[in-house]
C-alpha cells in the first residue's frame, strides 16, 4: 500500500492551504479538511514542524547519533527500552534499526560534554543497554528531504587539445 497523495504533499510542505491541496488533488476543500482532521485525530499526523538549517539559524547545539546494543525483554522485545529512552528530554528521535545495533538514538545537547554526560550517566546505565557508540553530527547537507546547500556544483574545466 502506498502513502496517500495528500499525505505526500503535506510531507513536502505542511503550509499548503486547503484550497491549494484541493486544487492539486481534484478534491473539495471540505474533503481535504476532513481527511487532515481525521489523520490528526487518529495520530497519523503526529505534528508539524519547520526544517531549520542549524548553520543559518545560529544553532550551536551539538547533535549525536548513538547506536545502542540492547537485550530484548521477554514479552516486550525492544519496545519498552526504546520508549524509556525516547522519553528523555535530550532525545529528539529514537528508531529500532537493523544491523550491528538495535536502536538508533538522536540526541541534542549544548556541547560535547553535555551529550557525553547523557550517554554515561543516563543512557549506558539503563537496564538492558549492553553498549553504545556515539557519532557526532558535523554538518547537515539534507534533512527530511530538504537540501540545505543549494549552490550548483562547479563546472568541470574543459580539457584543451
In the three-class reduction of DSSP (H, G, I as helix; E, B as strand; rest coil), residue 109 is classed as: strand
| Tens digits of residue pLDDT in 5-42 | 999 999 888 899 999 999 999 999 999 999 999 999 99
What is the predicted pLDDT for the residue at 157?
A: 66
| Tens digits of residue pLDDT in 73-95 | 888 889 999 999 999 999 999 99
Provide the residue ranges of all domains of the chain, joining segments of one domain with +: 5-42, 54-139
The pTM (predicted TM-score) of the whole model is 0.79
Residues 21 and 32 sit within 8 Å (Cβ to Cβ): yes
| Tens digits of residue pLDDT in 51-78 | 888 888 888 899 999 999 999 988 888 9
Least confident of 58-67, 78-87, 125-134, 141-150: 141-150
Closest CA to 84 of 117, 120, 113, 123: 123
Across 130-147, average pLDDT: 92
| All cell numbers assigned to 145 | 528531504
**For residue 1, pLDDT beyond 80:** no
According to DSSP, residue 137 is labeled: -
What is the predicted pLDDT for the residue at 11?
A: 87
Fold (CATH) for 54-139: Alpha-Beta Plaits (3.30.70)
What is the predicted pLDDT for the residue at 13?
A: 86
What is the predicted pLDDT for the residue at 41?
A: 96
**For residue 152, pLDDT beyond 80:** no
Which of the listed CATH numbers 1.10.10, 1.10.3210, 3.30.70, 2.60.40 matches domain 5-42?
Answer: 1.10.10
Residues 66 and 123 sit within 8 Å (Cβ to Cβ): yes
Amino acid at each position: 500500500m502506498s502513502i496517500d497523495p495528500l499525505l505526500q504533499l503535506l510531507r513536502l510542505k505542511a503550509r499548503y492551504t486547503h484550497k491549494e491541496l484541493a486544487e492539486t488533488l481534484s478534491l473539495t476543500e471540505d474533503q481535504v479538511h476532513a481527511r487532515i482532521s481525521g489523520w490528526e485525530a487518529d495520530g497519523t499526523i503526529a505534528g508539524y514542524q519547520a526544517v531549520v538549517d542549524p548553520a543559518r539559524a545560529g544553532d550551536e547545539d551539538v547533535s549525536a547519533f548513538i547506536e545502542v546494543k540492547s537485550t530484548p525483554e521477554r514479552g516486550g522485545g525492544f519496545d519498552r527500552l526504546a520508549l524509556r529512552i525516547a522519553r528523555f528530554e535530550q532525545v529528539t528521535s529514537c528508531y529500532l534499526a537493523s544491523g550491528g545495533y538495535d536502536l538508533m538514538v538522536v540526541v541534542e545537547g549544548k556541547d560535547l560534554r553535555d551529550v557525553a554526560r547523557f550517554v554515561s550517566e543516563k543512557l549506558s546505565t539503563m537496564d538492558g543497554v549492553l553498549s553504545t557508540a556515539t557519532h557526532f553530527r558535523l554538518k547537515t547537507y539534507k534533512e527530511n528531504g530538504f537540501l540545505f546547500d543549494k549552490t550548483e556544483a562547479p563546472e568541470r574545466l574543459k580539457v584543451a587539445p
